[in-house]
Structure 1
Amino acid sequence: MMRILLFLATNLAVLVVAGITLKLLGVDRFTGQNHGSLLVFCAVFGFAGALVSLFISKWMAKMSTRTEIISQPRTRHEQWLLQTVEQLSRDAGIKMPEVGIFPAHEANAFATGWNKNDALVAVSQGLLERFSPDEVRAVLAHEIGHVANGDMVTLALIQGVVNTFVMFFARIFGNFVDKAILKNEDGHGIGYFVATIFAELVLGILASIVVMWFSRKREFRADEAGAQLAGTAAMIAALQRLRAEQGLPSEMPDTLTAFGIKGGLKNGLAGLLMTHPPLEDRIEALRQRRG
């Protein structure tokens, strides 16, 4: 749960900082009653953070996971990894991404990058050591599926949209509290700022539910792509192996949780804020596909 709280805190902090920036630049003063102008400024700030994160995603991923890019394979295992990714990429119709290995005992993998022809696919050392070649290939196919589906770009755009409307409606709410309830007619008072920050926090959590819903949907699509590229039986076997190791602590940085292959331990209300659906649901979806 700490992972989700950190994710939400990061996004909410971005919104609050953007709000303070709008105030310092005087944007709030000039767009308080002009909803069209306010929406434009909120869109600029709402999309800026999401797009910057997207463009530096490969660099951040390499740094945070200590991923070592395989430029020249030194072992037959690295040679096999490059050849497998090259074949899967060709079958998926995308340019071969960079391939790397990150030092983690847990079995995990991720894909990131600002477009499908300039991506990074990395797997953990633990996954390579404990998974069979067919299972590793299925995991790689899943990640290639994310890249081919353009999931990184789509997730960034959705985050930009929800950030925009969180900032927009929070300011409308703040203006309503300031003018209609507190009867302040002399610019923006303290009521406006308190109400705006409160609304950003509440709306930010609700917006995160929308983003997490898309994140869970894209996992099913990536599993489907992985099954098409590597075979349904291999994809199911890889997910079953991940489920067997589900109790092990995760070493994936919080910023990359949504881009890893495993996750999703809770149902109910907590499940609304999970980046991944439960592995049992993903396995069952693939079994129905095979049937």
Structure 2
Amino acid sequence: MLRIVLFLLTNLAVVLVAGIVLSLLGVGSTHGAGNTLQLGNLLVMCFVFGSVGSLISLLMSKWMAKRTMGVQLIENPRSGEERWLLDTVADLAQRAGIKMPEVGIFPSYQSNAFATGWNRNDALVAVSSGLLQRMNKDEVRAVLAHEVGHVANGDMVTLALIQGVVNAFVMFFSRIIGNFVDRVIFKNEEGPGIAYYVTSIIADIVLGILASAIVMAFSRHREFRADEAGAALAGRAAMISALRALQREHEVPDQMPAEMTAMAITTGKLEGFTLAQLFMSHPPLEKRIAHLQSLQIA
């Protein structure tokens, strides 16, 4: 229920902010005489809605992650383990050249972790309770280094920007397709009709699925970079050991919400190459391990 409420609030914020921006820019109707598209207005509208949606999601990402994942922030350590987590993240953050992120633990049997936040100096790094139970300290440190690497690389911001641009082009071309069907096939010249809206929605879905492959390709690339950062900060052997520990858990059901998987250290295992791998946010763990083994890092 909480996720539904947050989803509705986010979309309401997008509509309100986008509407204000479009008014300030003086963007008028996207359709002119004879049901022709005003491409300039349409392009601006699509970029505003696409970018505003991604930016609002980015700005709200830390707040939403805390609530959807049930993250318990470590502010006053209550145990030696919590003190060690804070000290470890502080050391890694200093070495990576970023400000100290917030640190938390979320309840999950699965070993996992994620990082989020709207910029590299205002981030959150969280680990699952299962990870702390089943990994040794060197492996946990490597996982934390991986997440700090995401923050230091600015991956959250870059992913939001790419998502915004992709959203804009999907909206733009789907409405061009909708207008073509409405005017040319259904011969409607009196403004957008039902064919325009139905076709635009279908095109949104189809193009959105295809375009998500671009976003996921970047997401997989950034996982390799974060693994490299983790190896540089915590040692290649420890990073490989942590990934192998995750590999042993591929039978454990994934408990991460869909909106959080791109920020997690793993999303499970998929055997062989399938078309589905084009839409995976993470490369297979065996490929990540092989990549680390090929690096000249101690």
TM-score by structure 1 length?
Answer: 0.89
Match of 1:125 among 122, 125, 129: 129
For residue 261 of structure 1, give the secondary structure of its aligned residue in structure 2.
coil
**1:273 matched to which residue of 2?**
279
For residue 31 of structure 2, give the secondary structure of its aligned residue in structure 1.
helix
The aligned runs of 1:181-200 (5 Å cut-off) are: 181-200=185-204
Match of 1:29 among 31, 50, 74: 31
* CA–CA distance in structure 2, aligned partners of residues 238 and 190 of structure 1: 54
**2:105 matched to which residue of 1?**
101
Matched, 1:67 2:64: no
1:109 to partner: Cα distance: 0.3
- Give per-residue Cα distances to partners, 1:51-110, cap 9 Å, x unaligned: 111111111111011110000111111111100000000000000100001111110000
The aligned runs of 1:205-216 (5 Å cut-off) are: 205-216=209-220
* CA–CA distance in structure 1, aligned partners of residues 238 and 197 of structure 2: 54
Matched, 1:148 2:152: yes
* CA–CA distance in structure 1, aligned partners of residues 150 and 253 of structure 2: 24
Provide structure 2 residue ranges, at least 5 long, that are not aligned to the other structure. Answer: 1-6, 20-26
Aligned pair count? 273
Letter in 2 for 1:240: R
Provide structure 1 residue ranges, at least 5 long, that are not aligned to the other structure. Answer: 1-9
- Give per-residue Cα distances to partners, 1:137-166, cap 9 Å, x unaligned: 000000000000001111111110011000
Identity, % of aligned positions: 61
**2:257 matched to which residue of 1?**
253
- Give per-residue Cα distances to partners, 1:110-143, cap 9 Å, x unaligned: 0000000000000011111110100000000000
Matched, 1:177 2:181: yes
* CA–CA distance in structure 2, aligned partners of residues 32 and 127 of structure 1: 57
Letter in 1 for 2:31: R
* CA–CA distance in structure 1, aligned partners of residues 88 and 261 of structure 2: 24
Match of 1:233 among 222, 231, 237: 237
Shifted more, 88-97 versus 247-256: the winner is 247-256
In the superposition, relative to structure 1, how do residues 216 and 224 fare at CA in structure 2: closer, same or farther (>3 Å)? same
* CA–CA distance in structure 2, aligned partners of residues 282 and 109 of structure 1: 16
**1:87 matched to which residue of 2?**
91
1:234 to partner: Cα distance: 0.4
RMSD value, Cα: 2.0
* CA–CA distance in structure 2, aligned partners of residues 290 and 185 of structure 1: 64
1:32 to partner: Cα distance: 5.0
